[in-house]
Chain A
């Protein structure tokens, strides 16, 4: 697992009273702008950075001695060597007072997403990012500072939470920035959809006129009580589905997400039949294996279900949607636990920084096409995990 956040081991030239900063990493030989800092791995890099005109540097090294020859360099942050993957084009958020830094964007990744807030009006039983009731409105500011630094060639960018639309006016400003700064970048927002029950919010969302904007909204059941129980919020189902209807009525792109666990998986066929009959106009449905982290660990005893135990239902659910011409994908589930007809719908969905394979996978012919596993939290493995040999599979 790639470390993304940490604490600087040393800091020079920054005043702890300075506000949070958003910094873009560049190679020492490039030509810096104000917010750029050179990534430095060895002593010689300081010289080339200085001659290129850099005044800030990020030293990636466990060796404290590295900073000694850089005495003349005005501003330096040192981070541990395990952050060696940080490279030209990446964007960091840095808080001088605590010396904490967070990786906001990695140019080489295809899975960049910004956490918009940790606050949420849901309290989902399996939340992988448990909400916190704190004032974190500074994050919006940080994201707005970061957007102009994101590479213009970035294919896609995600926004997640918490619930990004709790402060919807603030979030819309970010979407407008994306439209203006990153017109070629597809934007994917994860929301519980309840804010869209308000016509005003939908109208503002549509008025952004972003060329490629999708919102992914979870529906956990065709039944109000079940959905409300999973998200731990009464009245959620009605507002969420109403939000989806209003978004589609305004021509906005909507993806429906269903996380599969012991409450949702046994009824997945009924849920997908309901989606196919009632919301066939959504743009995509993602049926998602559970990420066993956050609240999912706390509620493990009534959420865990071995994917082998819903394998046939999942195949039927995928068939129901595909037959109704609804685009459907299966996320986060390994090929060996999926029925063969589901394979074409299975996607390598797990973000690169938290994605891994087991020893069993080494001898599997399907590994290059397989989602693999989450490394976060407390991974649980299906009894069906087994290397697939092409001769056996065919």
Chain B
């Protein structure tokens, strides 16, 4: 029997020198948070971090093992560390293979609501002026079906899209007729306040697998304050609509979204309770929309981020308690970020990706035929800023829209992978570019991130989630379940 070599014999680093792999870090109170190229987090002490950066590391001491397993270091000549990072990055970015999966049709700008946070609706009965024409819809649909993605979602928005339901019917039927020869699978969603929902609408939705998505801001008084309409009964009608849709289409065929306003900030538990009461399968605690006050006042109100994060944290704690009591009820935004942090599944969520989701993830066909790179881009245009108008259905093709200089310039200049403050941010692998937001608030698609509420919000949420994952085993188990683990 030959002699066995001791562990020391395999720990010499003289013959194959150590080298760094790309990593990002953030100095915290007592330690360093470090993330590798694909966003696995490691916490190091000051001393460990110092040794890591100087490569004063030797196998057998613990730090080498930690840093090697986390792809922070490798030995020269090794292939595996690079190959693993490459394939994981490829998986994480694979959403780019699905070019423009989402298409939003603004079938009318008319609405019977007059929500102050909405920049786009019109209280008008003038059909000819604010409804999408059949010709515009037909041209838009051609662009939709020219998108390379094999599975496409068409979402009808407004205004209140049910006010132009006959056009929705025509688009759905025409799209379904054209889909097989174009080799596409289609999903349909109507984003409606449900106030005008009729049995005919439901029957059509059922017959053609159309999902409903509605707005529910919380309990009646809050909802009605946020969403005024004649009769002050928006909440009553939305709840009635949700219940009818659940009953007629199935519980999983109707979803609700909330918008946080200043009035919501102290009332997150009531808002969550309202979602629970209606049997909805989770809640998306959405941030304050910047396209009202933030844009108009042109102020970077960090104070609001702080208050919103408090709101979010209170809400998340409350939701975790509900889950701990035995009811599976995810907060969808954390679930999304957790999937990014805990898995390498490609997440192409339009509002949190880099390259940005504008155009590449979604296109918006306005009632008047103008095509925008995002819903927010359309809102900016209503305020006189056409930066995100990519063309018009009369003249544009899918190619001309996606390859327009306007879009490419904005996407390229907002990449988190190379933007200042983003490229070396420890949270970059889980974050995204929001050029429309930064254009709106800072007149620059890249933005100065220390002044950005978007940045402060993302970091705030991710720090909170990391804190829970690291320090609260019971809640961490719930978060992992939300991530699909």
Give the interface of A toward B (CB within 8 A). 123, 125, 130, 222-226, 228-229, 232, 234, 237-238, 241-242, 245, 267, 270, 274, 277-278, 280, 295, 298-299, 323-325
B181 at the A interface (CB under 8 A): no
B372 at the A interface (CB under 8 A): no
Q: Are A245 and B87 in contact (CB under 8 A)?
A: yes
**Contact for B80 among A228, A232, A237, A323, CB less than 8 A:** A237
Q: How far is the CB of B478 from chain A (nearest CB, A)?
A: 12
B23 at the A interface (CB under 8 A): no
Other 12 A-B pairs with CB < 8 A, given A226-B7, A270-B69, A299-B4: A222-B65, A223-B59, A223-B64, A223-B68, A224-B68, A224-B75, A229-B7, A229-B9, A242-B79, A245-B87, A295-B1, A323-B480
Given contacts A224-B75, A278-B88, contact A238 B80 (CB under 8 A): yes
Residues of A within 8 A of B84 (CB): 241, 245, 278
Q: Are B10 and A123 in contact (CB under 8 A)?
A: no
Q: How far is the CB of A236 from chain B (nearest CB, A)?
A: 9
Q: How far is the CB of B481 from chain A (nearest CB, A)?
A: 9
Q: Are B5 and A323 in contact (CB under 8 A)?
A: no
Given contacts A224-B75, A232-B4, A274-B69, contact A242 B80 (CB under 8 A): yes
Q: How far is the CB of B130 from chain A (nearest CB, A)?
A: 49
| 14 sample A-B contacts, Cβ–Cβ < 8 Å, listed by A number | A224-B78, A229-B5, A229-B9, A234-B10, A242-B79, A245-B80, A270-B65, A277-B88, A277-B344, A278-B84, A278-B88, A295-B1, A323-B480, A324-B343
Which of B10, B84, B480, B485 has most A Cβ within 10 Å? B10
Q: How far is the CB of A153 from chain B (nearest CB, A)?
A: 39
Q: Are B87 and A223 in contact (CB under 8 A)?
A: no
Given contacts A225-B10, A225-B11, A228-B10, contact A125 B64 (CB under 8 A): no
Residues of A within 8 A of B343 (CB): 324
Q: Are A123 and B68 in contact (CB under 8 A)?
A: no
B83 at the A interface (CB under 8 A): yes
- Cα distance A85–B45 when bound, in Å? 63
**Chain B 25-63 per-residue mask, 1 if CB under 8 angstroms from chain A, else 0:** 000000000000000100000000000000000011000
Q: Which parts of B469-485 form the interface with A (CB within 8 Å)?
A: 480, 485
B2 at the A interface (CB under 8 A): yes
Q: Are A229 and B83 in contact (CB under 8 A)?
A: no
Residues of A within 8 A of B78 (CB): 224, 238
Interface residue tally on B, bucketed by range: 20 to 34
Q: Are B69 and A130 in contact (CB under 8 A)?
A: no
Q: How far is the CB of B103 from chain A (nearest CB, A)?
A: 32
Q: Are A277 and B5 in contact (CB under 8 A)?
A: no
Q: How far is the CB of A298 from chain B (nearest CB, A)?
A: 7
**Once A and B bind, how many residue pairs between them come within 8 Å at the CB atom?**
67
User: In the complex, what residue of chain A is closest to B60 when comparing beta carbons?
Assistant: A225
Which of A130, A223, A241 has most B Cβ within 10 Å? A223
Q: How far is the CB of B274 from chain A (nearest CB, A)?
A: 32
- Cα distance A71–B275 when bound, in Å? 92
Given contacts A228-B10, A323-B480, contact A242 B83 (CB under 8 A): yes
Given contacts A225-B59, A229-B5, contact A324 B10 (CB under 8 A): no
Q: Are B79 and A238 in contact (CB under 8 A)?
A: yes
Q: How far is the CB of B347 from chain A (nearest CB, A)?
A: 16
- Cα distance A298–B1 when bound, in Å? 10
Q: Are A123 and B64 in contact (CB under 8 A)?
A: no
User: In the complex, what residue of chain B is closest to A276 when comparing beta carbons?
Assistant: B485
**Contact for A232 among B5, B75, B88, CB less than 8 A:** B5
Q: How far is the CB of A214 from chain B (nearest CB, A)?
A: 21
- Cα distance A299–B78 when bound, in Å? 30
- Cα distance A298–B7 when bound, in Å? 16
Q: How far is the CB of A120 from chain B (nearest CB, A)?
A: 12
Q: Are B79 and A229 in contact (CB under 8 A)?
A: no
User: In the complex, what residue of chain B is closest to A294 when comparing beta carbons?
Assistant: B1
Closest 10 interchain pairs by CB?
A222-B69, A229-B10, A225-B59, A241-B80, A323-B485, A228-B10, A223-B65, A238-B78, A225-B10, A229-B7
Residues of B within 8 A of A267 (CB): 65
- Cα distance A241–B84 when bound, in Å? 9
**Contact for B69 among A223, A238, A242, CB less than 8 A:** A223
- Cα distance A223–B65 when bound, in Å? 6
**Contact for B2 among A123, A223, A245, A274, CB less than 8 A:** A123
- Cα distance A238–B83 when bound, in Å? 10
Q: Are B1 and A130 in contact (CB under 8 A)?
A: yes
Q: How far is the CB of A64 from chain B (nearest CB, A)?
A: 38
Residues of A within 8 A of B79 (CB): 238, 242
Residues of B within 8 A of A234 (CB): 10
- Cα distance A131–B170 when bound, in Å? 74
Q: How far is the CB of A67 from chain B (nearest CB, A)?
A: 41
- Cα distance A245–B485 when bound, in Å? 23
- Cα distance A274–B79 when bound, in Å? 17
Residues of A within 8 A of B83 (CB): 242, 245
- Cα distance A270–B78 when bound, in Å? 21
User: In the complex, what residue of chain A is closest to B5 when comparing beta carbons?
Assistant: A232
Q: Which parts of B1-20 form the interface with A (CB within 8 Å)?
A: 1-2, 4-5, 7, 9-11
Residues of B within 8 A of A298 (CB): 1
- Cα distance A329–B87 when bound, in Å? 26
Which of B2, B69, B485 has most A Cβ within 10 Å? B69
